[in-house]
A and B are shown apart, each in its own frame.
Chain A
Amino acid sequence: MAFNIQQAETDVAGAVGAAPAEGAAKKIEGRSPWRLAWERLRRDRAAMVSLGVIVFIVLVAIFAPVIAAIVGHGPNQQFRGPNPPLGLVIGQLGIPKPVGPSASFWFGADDQGRDIFIRVIYGARISLIVGVAATAVTVAGGLVIGLAAGYFGGIVDSLLARFMDWLLAVPFYLFAISLVSVVLVHPIGPIGPGLPVVIIVLGFFGWAAVGRIVRGQVLSIREKEYIEAARALGAKPWRIMFVDILPNLLAPLIVYATLLIPLNIVGEASLSFLGVGIQDPTADWGKMIADSSSLFEYGPWWYLVFPSLALLLTTLAFNIFGDGVRDAFDPRGGPFV
């Protein structure tokens, strides 16, 4: 990564016609596009606040077991039976009823007497893992295929472009639930339902959008003189693609990746909400929200509200931060991505 960024600096400097002299001066000149973006981002108060929120959520996710140990409740521990503190109390007609927010259950308990606070902080782990992993798969896949399509052109491009058209026309949720429904009946190798399938499904259906952007950019970059020069010097296609072209794509890719993370987090939560994502008993926001909807009649609002707030806070923070990153790289607010 460090190498690529270095390369991008020289390439960008070369492209805009800046003539860096030598030594230290060159280094400062070359760093400027990235440093400028960072400085713009740092002045964006909303983006910085949301970055703080993101860091907070990440820390909570990392230290979830520590917090659980301090509180003394496990994520899957059911508090029912004779010993206090009880998550379930006997309500009207002798039906067990989850307790609301209290000193021992900050966010209340669910219908199985589990601590919702602990499950919400454990749920952050799933959301963040899927958000980041699915985005990584999406960006990597879209990058490689978009580079190949844009650079080679011709028949390779036509085939890959048609394939991307097809993927973008796929009704995502239907195909995702179809795939998972088949996997539920008949696991394909080690891929059973749960975390891996969610990441694969989100990545597989997501990369085409990145691929199309990368392809478009590559189509214009490959006509530049320095690419012609590289080719004249005898550089192999893979070298031109990954060493000469790729660094120019880093800025739009970073912007796109930041905005993809919240989309993938919502995608994961939605799949789990539909019952084809993360399976019980793993704590997951989408699953908790789905489970809460069958309990409205008892009136436990906390079961819906706390996981929803956690999900909303996370996506909102990532979206505000993503907007900030986009503005930082492209202050004109033009059609950058």
Chain B
Amino acid sequence: MTRFLIRRIAQGIFVMWLMTVTVYLIFFVGPGPSSVARVLAGRNATPKTIAEVAARLHLNEPWYKQYGNFIWSLLHGNLGYDYYHGQSVNSIIAQAFPITLSLVLGASVLWLALGVFTGVVSAVKTRSAWDRSFTGLALFFYSMPSFVLGLLLILLLYYDLTKAGINVFPAPGAGSWVGITQNPLQWAHVLILPWITLALVSAATYTRLTRGSMLDVFGEDFIRTARAKGMSENRVIFRHNLRAAMTPIVTQFGLDVGVLIGGAIITETVFSLPGLGYTAVTAITQQDLPVVIGVTIVASAGVIIANLLVDILYAVIDPRVRVN
């Protein structure tokens, strides 16, 4: 197990290192040697700021010194300085992160419950009316881009209802965010439509995955053995089948959460929730690239750590993984 852990963590660090190289190539090499400082200083930067940026990031020195400086700051947990807002990138990310976390964790509970429940029902009652409607709905939401669903919900549940005098759902907008520690009720109120959007779109994958995985397991010998022993069908379904069928679901869940923690970009943009993704998108329209670099690094780390955790969890559950 220790050897597996060391190897897997080394792989993770290697992939993370590749990420920093990529980010460096995109932002420090991509714009061309003469314009890096100008691009990083943001729009409307004065020549003085540009010169300062160039000096601070060692941009007039050879590439290995530039990259060395870049990765050295990263290793010290310093994600850079945002010249556009005159603020460190770390503090911008620290403000945005709780919002993304609230959105993703809340939605993930919803979609997991919804997806696994409908998947189990569909698998147990194959070809029934329930199965048909759940798989049909899953295909529908699977095909639905999240921004389409989000905007339709805003149009119907916010604008149209509000016009009809029913004021239930909050206005989307960056100003409406409230932390959970300040006012838990209002926190949930602001997040309810984003949660529904993200959960419905994601749950579809889990319905399909759970159904397929459970149907596969129903064909296994140990299920027949369990039934032959006279075990109750409920016990067969939940203790034997669902448990064995959980592995692909756990994997998918880990990867999905890992990706979204780095910014549920589209959902956040639709609802103007100032999380990591929204911050990155607005930074791009403002040509405020240091923030984009910071969010990209954090998001990559999120995906890599999620991958790592899923693999380790796998190895704990299934000893065969460790050897291979």
Contact = CB atoms under 8 A, between A and B. Distances in A.
B151 A293 contact: yes
Contact of A312 (B148, B259, B299): B148
A179 B293 CA distance: 11
Interface stretch (B71-79, B96-104, B265-273): B265-273
A188 interface: yes
A286 B152 CA distance: 14
Contact of B159 (A170, A186, A299): A299
A304 B155 contact: yes
Contacts of A171: 259, 262-263, 296, 299-300, 302-303
A323 B19 contact: no
A273 B147 contact: yes
Interface in A272-329: 273-276, 286, 289-290, 292-293, 296-297, 299, 301, 304-305, 308, 311-312, 315-316, 318-320, 323
Interface string A143-181: 000000000000000000010011001110111011101
A334 B216 contact: yes
B96 to A, nearest CB: 13
A17 interface: no
18 contacts: A169-B300, A170-B19, A170-B300, A170-B303, A171-B263, A171-B299, A173-B266, A175-B26, A177-B265, A177-B292, A179-B26, A186-B30, A274-B281, A275-B281, A289-B151, A308-B152, A311-B148, A334-B216
Contacts of A286: 147
B285 to A, nearest CB: 7
Given A174-B262, A181-B287, A323-B139, A315 B159 contact: no
Interface string A64-80: 00000000000000000
B143 A312 contact: yes
B179 interface: no
B145 A315 contact: yes
B166 interface: no
A274 B266 contact: yes
Interface in B281-324: 281, 284-285, 287, 289, 292-293, 295-296, 299-300, 302-304, 307
A233 interface: no
Given A169-B19, A182-B289, A293-B154, 19 more contacts: A162-B11, A165-B15, A169-B307, A171-B262, A173-B266, A173-B277, A174-B292, A177-B284, A178-B296, A179-B26, A273-B266, A274-B266, A275-B285, A293-B151, A296-B154, A299-B163, A316-B143, A319-B143, A333-B212
B22, B143, B147, B287: which has the most chain A beta carbons within 10 Å? Answer: B143
Contacts of A165: 11, 15
Contacts of A166: 15, 18-19
Contacts of A184: 287
B110 to A, nearest CB: 21
A184 B287 CA distance: 9
A318 B292 CA distance: 34
Contacts of B148: 289, 308, 311-312
A252 interface: no
A335 B19 CA distance: 31
Interface stretch (A88-96, A128-136, A218-226, A262-270): A262-270
Contacts of A305: 152
A275 B18 CA distance: 27
Interface stretch (B31-39, B54-62, B113-121, B235-243): B31-39
B307 A186 contact: no
Contacts of B19: 166, 169-170
A185 interface: yes
Contact of B292 (A169, A181, A266, A299): A181
Contacts of A334: 216
B142 interface: yes
B212 to A, nearest CB: 7
B145 A269 contact: yes
Contact of B142 (A174, A319, A333): A319
Would you list the 9 A-B pairs with minimal beta carbon distance, nearest first?
A: A171-B299, A315-B143, A316-B143, A181-B284, A182-B30, A186-B31, A308-B148, A166-B18, A171-B262
B151 A178 contact: no
A288 B89 CA distance: 33
Given A169-B307, A171-B262, A162 B139 contact: no
Nearest to B135: A323
B84 interface: no
A245 to B, nearest CB: 23
Q: For A181, A286, A299, A301, which residue has the most chain B Cβ atoms within 10 angstroms?
A: A181
Contact of B26 (A162, A178, A269, A315): A178
Contacts of A319: 139, 142-143
B34 to A, nearest CB: 10
Contact of A177 (B14, B212, B281): B281
A337 to B, nearest CB: 11
B63 interface: no
B144 interface: yes
Contacts of B32: 186
Q: Most A CB atoms within 10 A — which of B145, B259, B293, B303?
A: B145
